[in-house]
Every structure is written in C-alpha cells, then in structure tokens.
Structure 1
C-alpha cells in the first residue's frame, strides 16, 4: 500500500519530468540537500540523466532512483553500496521494468564481474512506487536498515554509492550500459548532495596522459631525432628553432604528465588486487620521476666543448628513451583497467597508432642511415681528393667540389613525412580521448 510520503515523491518526480526542457533529461529534486540526500550527475541542478535520493527512517530508508532510458524495452536501474571504490563487492538494490509496463525489485550483490541474487531477493524491500514517461523511469522503494542476509549491507554504515542501468533478458540483469560511482562515502542518515568522483577523475587522468604522450612527447621526440636541420638557419631567443620547438613540446608533455598524476593520485599506489593493476601506478610514478629528471639534465647540460658533454648526452638519451617507451606502455595498461571503464575498441585503436608510429620511425631511420652513409662517403672522398691534390702539383686535376649548403638527404620527403606524422598523432590523440571519455567497457 502506497503511503503518503511515497505518493508525494512520485508526484514530484512526475512534475520534474513534465517540466523538463529536454525530453532526455530532468531537473534535480528540489528536496535534495534540504530534506533528502542525493547523488546525481546533474549540472547545477539541471540536465540530469540519473539521480538517487534517499530519506532515512528509524527502521528503513526510502530510495528514489530516477534515470533516462533510450527505449521502453526491458531495463533496470539500481543503487549499489560498496565499502571500496569498486563495483566488485557492492550490495545492490534494483528496480526492473519490462516493456509491458510491469515493475519489480530485488536485492543482489556483486561478486567480481558477476551480479548474484541473494537468497531471498525481496526480503527487506517494500512500498514500490514507479512510473515511466518521456523516456524517464522513476522508482521509489523502502529498504530496511538491517537485514539477516550479510550480502544485504547494513544501511547505518557509510558506503560509496553506485548507480547503474542496463537491459534485462528473461527477468535477469545484463551487463550495465552505464554506471557511476560517488566521489566519497555516503552517510545515508544525512541529507548531503554527493557528486560523481572516481569515474570522471579517472577519465580525466587518462585523457590528459594520452594528450601528453600520444601528441606532445611523440612529436617532440620525432623532431629532435630526425629534423634537427629544420629551420636550422633561424634562431629564437638565442637557440635554433628546432631546439626551441622540441623543448616546448617536451615541456608541455611534462606539465601534462604531472597534471594527470595530480588529478588521480590519492596518497596510495594501490588501485587493484592484481599485479597487472598495480603495475600502472608504479610505472606512472617511475615515468613522473624520469619526466622531472630530464628537464633538470637539460638545464645543467655542459657546453659543447666540455669533456662532460658525452656524459650528459648519454644520460639525457637514456632517461628520455626510457620515458618514451614506458609512456605508451602504461597507457596500454591503463585503458585495460576495470576502473577506466573503456571499450576494447580503444585498445585496438591504440595498437594501430603505435604500429603507424613504429612504421614512420623505421622509414625515417632508414633515411637517416642513408644520409649518414652519404656523409661518410663524402668525407672519405674529401680526404682522398686532398691527398691527390698535394701530389699533383701541376694542378691538372683538382678535387670535385661538394656543396655543403645543399639540403639533407631526401629532405622534401622527410618534411612530408613529418606532416603526415603530426596529422596521425593529432587525429589518433583526439580519437583516443573521445573513446576514453565517452565509452564504457564491454
């Protein structure tokens, strides 16, 4: 039997849906932060795609789940409670809707990647109130604050809150299409407003790192290795243009790397329970150290004629090469983590980029080797010609002139390759950022 409070919640939900400016979104309940606690993705109270509100009582807590759906086919929406910022051990209460218009609710729990019904799924759940209109579902129900089943968590404890929605088949929940995790633990006795945290922060961290290593570090490394003669006759602030471009790109990449780590770090290197998961933060801290060390080496670099110049060059090269290898490898690891919640397409997309980058490096390396061989042959020819010139005093023969001002070997081709490389880097960086920020794991 519907009580008065549940009836009021239902009426308010309907009013919010009817007054929404966008048929695919709704406005947050005005009671949020006043008489009810709320967790949502609302933008300043508007344009919500999901909202969970709660009102704690002496023996039970009333939950209201509101979310936008793409169709009126079989769907579910649920609220999950977890002691950690993962979905793996959450206690879940779900509202299921069939396209015939019938609704039901159930308690379940997550065991790793699997959602399992508790022994008595409806025990502790009551007063289900529901409606569906304009592609927006609204479910209100009560859940007892304590339960005899240990898999149905005690609501007097603080938990991270999770929202998830997806399709059902044969009355069973399928893999979620969307989920979100709160930025902090929730006290269900409070009326606080809680926002999203971990998923958005993880995606921001990944996006910034991708921009740093797929774009700036990538292009900066290519320029210093294969395009030193570029604008060699021009100088900016006392240094060759190629050097200033290289330094600018690498500095931006370093700043972005530091920023990406500041976005995600929470005082602990542990982000998972496996060596694979923990390899990512450890490798990230290693990369951070290398990124900080290399600019310091650059500032302290000795003069060209210094006896320590070879030592500097060796150290700078090793540190730079180490970071340039570890950077993309760590991105590969990061996009496969469960918390990243990124589609497998991003993994293959990144593989294609790295293959194209390696192919470009091979082509440029071949051209560089051929150029070095040509230079060696010319130097050898100069030496031989000078010796012959000393012997032939009658001046009947003279060494062949070599134009030292001509452009490097295959220079036009290399400039075209640089343009292609920059285009590929920018295109794939943009594509990866879009995949990381908008997609979910399959």
Structure 2
C-alpha cells in the first residue's frame, strides 16, 4: 500500500510540474517584457537628451560664437559711434548666450551621459568648456583703450576667440560622427547643412574684410565716387571728416 501511495504521489507530481514550470516561464516572460519596455523608454529619453545636447552646442559654438566674431570684426571699419555700440552689444550678447548654452550642454553631458573620455569629441569638448569660460573672464577684465596692456589683451582675446570658433566647429563634426556611431542613424544631411553654414560665414568674413578695398577701387556707385571727389576738392580736410562721419552714420 505504501508503495502504491508513493507511486501515485510521484505520478501526480509529474503531471503537475509542467504547470509550475509554465507559470514560472510566464512570470519570467512578463518581467523580460517589462525590462524591454523600460529599456526602450530609457533609450528614447537618452536619444532626446543627446539631440538636445547637440542642438545646444550647435547654437552656442556653431552659430552664436561666429556671429559675435563677425560683429566685432565689422566694427573695426565703422566710424559711427552709434553703429559701433550696436555691433559691440551684438558681440557681447551673442557671446554671453553662447557661454550660457554651452554651460547647459556641459551640465547635461556630465549628468546624463557616460563620460569615459575615450573619443575625440568628449576630450575636445572638455577643453572647449574650460576655454570658453577663460575667454569670458578675459573679456570682462578688458583694459582701457589708452592703457599699456590693451594691445596684449586684444591679441590674446582675438587669438583665443578665433581658436574657440574653429575648434567649436570641428567639435560639432566629431559630435555628429559620435552620434552616428552610437545610434547608426544617417548624418549626411546634417553635415551638408552645417558645412553650407560654415562656408557662408567664412565667405561673409572674408568679403567684409575686403569691402573697403573694393570701394576704393571704384566698384561702388558713381554718385558716391563723384560726391567724394567733390568733397575732396571743395571742402577742407576737417569738413571732409565731418561729412564722412555724417554720411556713414
């Protein structure tokens, strides 16, 4: 009798065990699905943060910083005080906004991304974050025009600002490459658009540098050249300067 009871219990255990295993597999399947859904949500959130980081750094170093550089460069050939102030404020405002946006992008990078610093984009980005703050401090401690350290300050400020613009543009390209390596998404369209923007800014920079030379060569309208010759013949030099300043303003 005992043997029969044991045999019956063993048969019941064999029949019921598939139910336990199937239930366990069902629980594991549900948990795996939840983990997959959670990973997808996290990846979407991370992808959004990567895109936002790229947009902030493009707006900072790919747009606002070159605009500020162009504004202060254009002021060197302007004689009207009102226009000089406008160009200076454009330069200062664009650089301040560039500093704030790059700082926001840096904070987002340190908080949300895996900063192993094993690629060029991360290493160059850290250097740019430090240099942009150094450039801002140099701009704040600007000496007066007639002081002895004005020339050295201008040289350092100009070299550092130009280097920041060039390295910032380069780091945007490395960021696009890193984005492609992480997500396997195409970046050809964005590279073409950004390259077109860089070419336009470079052309405008070189063109405004040569604009005075073009005007002196008589490429301007004939009425302006005739007016200039009349002023040179009729008016004395002091009056010519006053008229020139009035016309430029």
Give TM-score, length-normalised by structure 2: 0.68
What SS class does the counterpart of residue 225 from structure 1 fall into?
helix
Q: Give 2:85's match in structure 1, choosing from 223, 240, 258.
A: 240
CA-CA distance at 1:284 after TM superposition: 0.9
What SS class does the counterpart of residue 403 from structure 1 fall into?
helix
Counterpart check, 1:352 vs 2:196: yes
Q: Give 1:295's match in structure 2, choosing from 136, 148, 158.
A: 136
Distance change (3 Å), C-alpha of 1:334 and 1:405: farther
Q: 1:321 is matched with which residue?
A: 162
Aligned partners of 1:353 and 1:281: how far apart in 2?
A: 23
Q: 2:176 is matched with which residue?
A: 335
Counterpart check, 1:61 vs 2:29: yes
Post-superposition Cα deviations, 1:273-309, rounded to whole Å, max 9, x if no partner, equal xxxxx11011111111111011111111111111111
Post-superposition Cα deviations, 1:186-222, rounded to whole Å, max 9, x if no partner, equal xxxxxxxxxx432111111001111123332122111
Residues 62, 172 of structure 2: 8 Å contact kept: no
Matches within 5 A, 1:345-384: 345-368=189-212
What SS class does the counterpart of residue 334 from structure 1 fall into?
helix
Residues 135, 161 of structure 2: 8 Å contact kept: yes
CA-CA distance at 1:233 after TM superposition: 3.0
Give TM-score, length-normalised by structure 1: 0.40
More helix per residue: 2
More strand per residue: 1
Counterpart check, 1:210 vs 2:51: no
Aligned partners of 2:196 and 2:99: how far apart in 1?
A: 24
CA-CA distance at 1:230 after TM superposition: 6.3
Residues 204, 263 of structure 1: 8 Å contact kept: no
Aligned partners of 1:315 and 1:364: how far apart in 2?
A: 23
Structure 2, unmatched stretches of 5+, are 1-22, 219-234
CA-CA distance at 1:61 after TM superposition: 2.7
Post-superposition Cα deviations, 1:380-436, rounded to whole Å, max 9, x if no partner, equal xxxxxxxxxxxxxxxxxx976633542699x79xxxxxxxxxxxxxxxxxxxxxxxx
Counterpart check, 1:402 vs 2:223: no
Distance change (3 Å), C-alpha of 1:253 and 1:349: same
Question: How many residues are aligned here?
Answer: 209
Higher Rg of the two aligned structures: 2
CA RMSD of aligned residues (A): 4.1
Structure 1, unmatched stretches of 5+, are 1-54, 66-78, 81-159, 164-179, 184-195, 273-277, 375-397, 413-442
Distance change (3 Å), C-alpha of 1:373 and 1:293: farther
What SS class does the counterpart of residue 65 from structure 2 fall into?
helix
Counterpart check, 1:283 vs 2:124: yes
Aligned partners of 1:230 and 1:56: how far apart in 2?
A: 80
Aligned partners of 2:116 and 2:216: how far apart in 1?
A: 48
Distance change (3 Å), C-alpha of 1:355 and 1:252: same
Report 1 or 2 for greater relative contact order, CA contacts < 8 Å, sequence distance ≥ 6: 2
Distance change (3 Å), C-alpha of 1:347 and 1:304: same
Residues 109, 115 of structure 2: 8 Å contact kept: no
Distance change (3 Å), C-alpha of 1:372 and 1:242: farther
Aligned partners of 1:358 and 1:265: how far apart in 2?
A: 32
